[in-house]
Amino acid sequence: MPAAAAADTAAILARYPLLDRDASILDFNHRVLHWAERPDVPLLERLRYLCIVSSNLDEFFEVRAEPHLTAWRAGTDAGGGMRRLMAAAHGLVNRQYAIYNDVLLPAMAAKRLRIVSHLDRNEAQRKWVREHFLREVKPLLVPVALDPAHPFPQVANKSLNFIVQLKGKDAFGRRNEIAIVKVPRVLPRVLRLPERVSGGETLFVMLSSVVRAHLPDLFPGREVGDFSHFRVTRDSDLSVDEQEVKNLRTALRQELHQRHYGLAMRLEVSSACSPELSDFLLRQFRLPAEALFKVQGPVNLVRLQQLISLVDAPELLFAPYSASYPVQLKRGESVFERLKRGDVLTHLPFESFDGVIDFLREAVHDPAVLAIKQTIYRTGNDSRMMDLLIDAQRRGKEVTAVVELKARFDEEANINWAEHLERAGAQVVYGVVGLKTHAKMLLVTRREGRQLRRYGHLSTGNYNPRTAALYTDLSYLTADARLTSDMDQLFVHLASHSRLPRMQRMLLAPFTLHRQMLAKIDAVAQAAMKGRGGRIVAKMNALTDEALIVALLRAGDAGAKIDLIVRGACMLPAALTKNIRVRSIIGRFLEHSRVFYFRAGADEQLWLSSADWMNRNMLRRVETAWQVTDPLLRQRIIDECLLAYLHDARDAWVMEDGGHYRSVVPPGAPPGPSAQAALMERYRS
């Protein structure tokens, strides 16, 4: 960076200090947790949002905590980053359990849904629980009393365990006072009591309560003293050196097992756990006192999702939403013929993913189709698309799959699909060493007369039919020769690592996307400075790239009007600026689409992308962005993805001082219109 530019950047950052990324992530989860408190949300859905926050927190500690804990262990955390992170996490967890105990459990009890502890169970219920324990649970438990021959056992990431203090002597006359009981993952964490012992209510028991009530059965001849269930969260980043390994897939499969036993990041115990036992566990896991979370309830609220599935009460859930078939397509009509008339946009999940499935299915069964190429990032374990690709290969098509093996927490599913595809004869490649392939592309080559014609699909989201019903994304089908040519060149590059020619319609990370986004922001700034008007509206999941933030701040200082719709982490301190506003939408569906609008004077551009504005997306991943030039589709995206969300008065939050957010609904006031609700109504099947 030239000295003048570096000085300018330093001056801007001095005026607008960036917000802390980890604090911003935790603040996002406070906004999600608000859904667990909202009285207008069905009761079991409120419980589901509580579980979502727990799942998010698990991932936060698995992914984000390691640098802070490593610095603390090494004695280099002079800035106190670990303590700040843990204090913020404690605040979120305390609020979470307060909602669980003081809001949700009483509301559930009012609906005759109760989780009954051992003390609350009557004699018939205790008998049923004991019989279940003896039949289904005890045979799978192997308590380990600690002594020199039985050291502290390996405790897997996020598993349920008990620590027990024993009195008296063992069978050999020794005083081994501490025992560990590991509870297998195969056991369901929530059990519904049968109607014959439920007294007309819907009653549940937690597996932890079942084990706790019968701990003496595991230690005959010993007296059980203090005890607690506990759970440790571990660092879960896979450490595979792509430059060194000869077979990335084999190395990752071997590494997946070790993920369960990474460095400990957080320890959760029951609120009644004695200091002696909690201190013992902290020493075993080499954790500071700040990493101890004493909770009033289950140590794993995520597993309460099982309770929701055990209740037959549709009135306590969201009314089912049936997405319409994509409005630009007709069932039974050839997608290829439709694309000859123009591009097709699908707004997920308001419109269904079936259009993409039908596009691929038609390609598989069409004898004129010669080749199919697709990127695979997150497809899930049960994927219709993967089955279709395998079928295509068996039908004699040339199938190329670019599989991203390092898609975090989807590695095993992707390895399995890669092996299935290879066994079917497909060409499977793993992208570029050191870069995650995060682009979402599907390309079909078809013989039409004497010519070969390409048809493509690009998306802001993944090829996962399940999440396509839960995430908002934009799906784009095209027969544009220049755009599909760019896609083909990118597939060739990913397979052969050949030099990319100049792209005609597409921007690509890590080559041009970052530079061009900066250039477009700068063009808006220049237009605003010259009085020609400048406007930016950008919708994304996260904004953490320093260069892009500085460019936005510079454009705001130049007079450009900027609205940022950022679902999660945002490091730009909008409250300190005059012309930049940041809002976050937390709705029934997870906001996931990336839409970038730039207006510099009379020049107006709209771009869709697979990339968030994060440094890793711009410089360490293969990402795509493409311009929407069709005026009708462009206006539709502006109306549905930008304007609707800027006017949302129900699910929106606005950034204020310190990076904290305020709901747009004043306390006690009725909520206004919701962008997601309006889109559901528009596209309801």
Per residue in 188-244, pLDDT (tens digit) is: 999 999 999 999 999 999 999 999 999 999 999 888 999 999 999 999 876 555 554
The residue-averaged pLDDT of 339-343 equals 97
Q: At 284, give phi and psi (nearest 5°).
A: -60, -40
The pLDDT, as a whole number, for residue 368 is: 98
Beta bridge partners of 446: 369, 453
Q: 329 or 239: whose pLDDT is higher?
A: 329
Choosing from 438, 457, 493, 514, the catalytic residue is 438
Residue appearing with tokens 């009653």: 203
Average pLDDT on 582-586 reads 98
Of 492 and 416, the structure prediction assigns the larger pLDDT to: 492
The DSSP element (H or E) to which 399 belongs, if any, is strand 398-403
pLDDT at 382: 64
Helix, strand, coil shares of the chain, percent, nearest 5, are 40, 25, 35
Return binding residues for ATP.
Answer: 56, 471, 567, 592
Burial class (CB in 10 A: 0-12, 13-18, 19+), 250: exposed
Are the beta carbons of 370 and 399 closer than 8 angstroms? no
CA distance 199 to 193: 10
Among residues 318, 302, 122, 137, the alpha carbon closest in space to that of 203 is found at 122
- 161-170, 194-203, 377-386: least confidently modelled range: 377-386
Which pLDDT score is estimated for 252?
Answer: 59
Maximum separation of any 2 CA atoms in the chain, in Å: 89
DSSP per-residue string spanning 23-55: HHHHHHHHHHHGGGT-TTS-HHHHHHHHHHHHH
The band of 172, judged by pLDDT with boundaries at 50, 70 and 90, is: low
Stretch 547-571: mean pLDDT:
98
**Phi, psi dihedral angles at 435 (to 5 degrees):** -125, 130
Q: Which residues are annotated as a binding site?
A: 56, 378, 408, 471, 567, 592
pLDDT at 470: 95
Residue 657 phi, psi (nearest 5) = -55, 145
Using CA atoms, how far apart are residues 622 and 490, in angstroms rounded to an integer? 10
* Structural contact between residues 378 and 464, judged by C-beta atoms closer than 8 angstroms: yes
Annotated binding residues for Mg(2+), written as ranges, equal 378, 408
- pLDDT surpassing 70 at residue 340: yes
Q: Is the pLDDT of residue 517 over 70?
A: yes
Asked if residues 625 and 607 have their Cβ atoms less than 8 Å apart, the reply is yes
Q: Looking at the chain, which residues constitute the CATH 3.30.870.10 domain(s)?
A: 335-504, 509-683
pLDDT of residue 173: 60
Q: Where are the beta strands (DSSP E) in 193-277?
A: 202-206, 223-234, 264-270
The CATH number of 335-504 is which of 3.30.870.10, 3.80.10.10, 3.90.1210.10, 3.40.50.880?
Answer: 3.30.870.10
User: Which run of H or of E encompasses 167?
Assistant: strand 160-167
Give 181-198 as a 3 state SS string. Answer: EEECCCCCCEEECCHHHC
What is residue 238's predicted lDDT score, i.e. its pLDDT?
60
Specify the domain boundaries for CATH 3.30.1840.10 within the chain.
Answer: 43-316
Looking at residue 670, its pLDDT comes to 87
Find, among 229, 227, 304, the residue nearest to 267 by Cα: 229
Q: What is the model's pLDDT at position 671?
A: 86
Q: How far is CA 569 from CA 20, 26, 92, 655, in A?
A: 9, 8, 16, 11
Nearest to 361 by CA among 319, 390, 324, 382: 390
SS3 58: helix
Which band of pLDDT confidence, cut at 50, 70 and 90, is reported for residue 5?
confident
Rg (C-alpha) for the chain, rounded Å, is 27
Q: Are strands 264-270 and 292-295 parallel, antiparallel or unpaired?
A: parallel
Phi, psi of 301 (to 5 degrees): -65, -20
Per residue in 630-685, pLDDT (tens digit) is 999 999 999 999 999 999 999 999 999 999 999 999 988 888 999 999 999 999 86
d(CA 542, CA 565): 9
| Residue 438 a catalytic site member | yes
The whole-chain average pLDDT of the chain stands at: 93
pLDDT of residue 433: 75
**Per-residue pLDDT reduced to its tens digit, 408-456:** 666 777 788 888 899 999 999 887 777 888 999 999 999 999 999 999 9
What's residue 395's pLDDT? 96
What pLDDT shows up at residue 221? 85
CATH number of the domain at 509-683, out of 3.30.300.30, 3.30.870.10, 2.60.40.3080, 3.40.50.720? Answer: 3.30.870.10
Alpha carbon distance, N-terminus to C-terminus of the chain = 53
Q: What is the mean pLDDT of the segment spanning 553-582?
A: 97
Report the pLDDT averaged over residues 575-593. 97
To the question of domain 43-316 being in CATH 3.30.1840.10, the answer is yes
pLDDT computed for residue 681 by the predictor? 95
The answer to whether residues 554 and 535 touch, using CB atoms and an 8 Å cutoff, is no
Q: Name the pLDDT band for 253 (thresholds 50, 70, 90).
A: low
Could you tell me whether strands 561-566 and 580-585 are parallel, antiparallel, or unpaired per DSSP bridges? parallel
- In this structure, the chain runs to a length of 685
Residues 72 and 80: their CA atoms lie apart, in Å, by: 8
pLDDT of residue 448: 96
* Burial status of residue 408 (CB atoms within 10 A of its CB: 0-12, 13-18, 19 or more): middle
Which residue, 397, 375, 371, is CA-closest to 386? 375
Residue 447 bridge partners (DSSP): 452
Rounded Cα distance between 599 and 265, Å, is: 45
